[in-house]
Amino acid sequence: MTTLICGSFAYDTIMVFPDKFARHILPDQLHILNVSFMVPRMRREFGGCAGNIAYNLKGLGGDVVAMGTVGEDFLPYAQWMDSHGLSRDHVKVIDGAYTAQAFITTDIDDNQITAFHPGAMAKSHRNHVADASGVTLGIVSPDGRDGMIAHAEQFVQAGIPFIFDPGQGLPMFDGPELLRFVEQADYVCVNDYEAKVLCSRTDLSIAQLSQRTRAFIVTLGSEGSEIYAKNHVHKIPAVKTDQVIDPTGCGDAYRAGLLFGLAQELDWETSGRIASLLSSQKIEYSGTQNHHVDPEMFAERFATTFGYRF
């Protein structure tokens, strides 16, 4: 099964301020704030939900196609995709635009100041689901507002089952719009905070929302995840790891695991465990695409962790 990943590609520029922001920001002077932080440590990562999900799913051995819009500065990312065998056939370059990018500064207390430039992501509606042939499964992940709306409708029109993953795009939509996504999608995947926001904006409980989908998945961080399907809640355990380096991108890895399980027509218990194990493997590395996923090694690690093979 070919899986189409609709979503963002982005550069994440991560900087570390070796002090506390609080020591340099005067609370009574916020109305004339003018600060500058010296950041001796900086790294640039390849990110974006479509890029992250595709990277993980490809690592598991999935047949994956990524779709997104990028800017004229995409060449380093394009070379990275080529080196990892990720197709760029449906990655559209928008003239005169930058690739979406986040500039994140973190202090020694793990407080963060982030600036996000959507850039070419805002033109994601220029891509169309029908442009990709042979697709049998999909996901609408965080992207430009118009693109997310259009791609969900196009998956429905094409009769292709898909996951709705609102993520950071959740604030862009009101209650009726979110409910429309839920009713269009075959599956919904959110973290626990996003689930609360979704329930609040739609005035429906998780149990009620799950009745409108084939499965409603809620990730709970270190507490694992829950999959609501056919009036049953599958409780998926988190996989403990020896080192927690960076949780950024764990949600995308989890979604890649779900997509792999769906493509392989595995049961929810197994699909959830694949997703949980893959996200735990990502957390052992900084960045979102710096961990290596090998299908055979992953299968062995799954068998060792859960006591059976998928």
> Catalytic residues, which ones?
252
Q: Would you say the C-alpha torsion 86, 91, 97, 103 has a positive or negative sign?
A: negative
Residues 99/46, Cβ–Cβ less than 8 Å: no
Q: CA 41, 44, 94, 114 torsion: positive or negative?
A: negative
| C-alpha–C-alpha distance, residues 242 and 251, integer Å | 19
Helix H or strand E encompassing 273: helix 268-282
Identity (one letter) of the amino acid at 85? G
Q: How far apart are the first and last CA of the chain?
A: 17
Q: How far apart are CA 239 and CA 218, in angstroms?
A: 16
**What is the residue whose two structure tokens read 């709705």?**
164
DSSP-assigned letter for residue 131? G
Phi-psi region of 239 (alpha: psi -120 to 50; beta: other; left: phi over 0): beta
**d(C-alpha 1, C-alpha 97), whole Å:** 33
